[in-house]
Amino acid sequence: MYNATEQFAEFNKVGYDNAVKLASLSLDKAERFAKLNLQAAKVALEQGVSSANAVAGIKDVQEFVAVRAKLTEAGVQSALGYSRGVYQLASEAQADFSALAEEAFATYTKGVAAWVEKAAKNAPAGSDVAVTALKSTVAATTAAFDQFSKATKQVVSFADASMRAASANAANVAKAATTTKGRKAA
């Protein structure tokens, strides 16, 4: 005998489990981001102290220019390192959230398909058209989600490649700029 209440209770249990997974994943990513920020603050403090000591020991213009170039490069490298860390965390979070969404949708789709099959078996005579329409709707929704998921993965892959290229280019430009400034001053 078909029991719709049990089927809906199962949907609710799966939804609850997914909500718990989402909350846990969110807290994990927030914790990692907080650790990254704390580490960046420590590095900034250390660099500030080091920079103040370096500036305090300057005795002539050439040394000033050399220290300035060195400190500029160190600052740019720190900023690039931090942005890479943030980007890496964001990319991992996006991948984890996408995997969770795909898993949840796959579970939901299986549950709906099972529900449709059970409902079809218990449907009154003459409701074949409605059952077929419902099955068609479920199949179309699943196909649409699959296409959306594939397109999203392609966009994320393209964005990741673009970000990595831009980051590498920024590091090279910053290094070249500080090297050129140091040579001009000497």
Range of the domain at 96: 4-185
Does the structure show a pLDDT above 90 at 110?
no
Judge contact between 37 and 135, C-beta under 8 A: no
What would the 3-class secondary structure string for 121-144 be?
HCCCCCCHHHHHHHHHHHHHHHHH
How confident is the model over 38-46, as a mean pLDDT? Answer: 95
pLDDT tens sequence across 51-75 = 999 999 989 999 999 999 999 989 9
Question: How many domains is the chain partitioned into structurally?
Answer: 1
**Taking the model in full, what pTM does it have?**
0.69
How many CB atoms are located within 10 Å of the residue 178 CB?
20
Q: What percent of the chain has pLDDT over 90?
A: 37
Instruction: Quote the pLDDT of residue 131.
Output: 80
Chain position carrying tokens 């479920």: 138
